[in-house]
Amino acid sequence: METLLLVVSILLIALVLLQSNKASNGAQIISGGNNDLFSKQKERGSELLITRITAILGAIFFIVSFILYIK
C-alpha cells in the first residue's frame, strides 16, 4: 500500500508541474492575483485531460492516505 502511495505521489507531482501557468507574471504567482481568473476560458485537449487526471490522482492519494492512517 505504501508503494501505491509513493507512485501516486510521484505522478501527482509530475502532473501538477506539467499544468500550464495561469498567472502572467511573478507578482501574480506570489500574491495569487489574476485578472482573468473567472473569465470564460475553457480548458481543451491535453490541458483538460491533465486537469482531470490530476483530480483523480488527488482523490486516490487522499483515499490511500486515509486507509494507511486507519491501519
- DSSP symbols for 31-67: H---TTTTS-----THHHHHHHHHHHHHHHHHHHHHH
User: When comparing pLDDT for 32 and 44, which is higher?
Assistant: 44
Per-residue pLDDT tens digits for 51-65: 899 999 999 999 999
Per-residue pLDDT tens digits for 12-38: 999 988 886 655 555 555 665 555 555
CA distance 71 to 56: 23
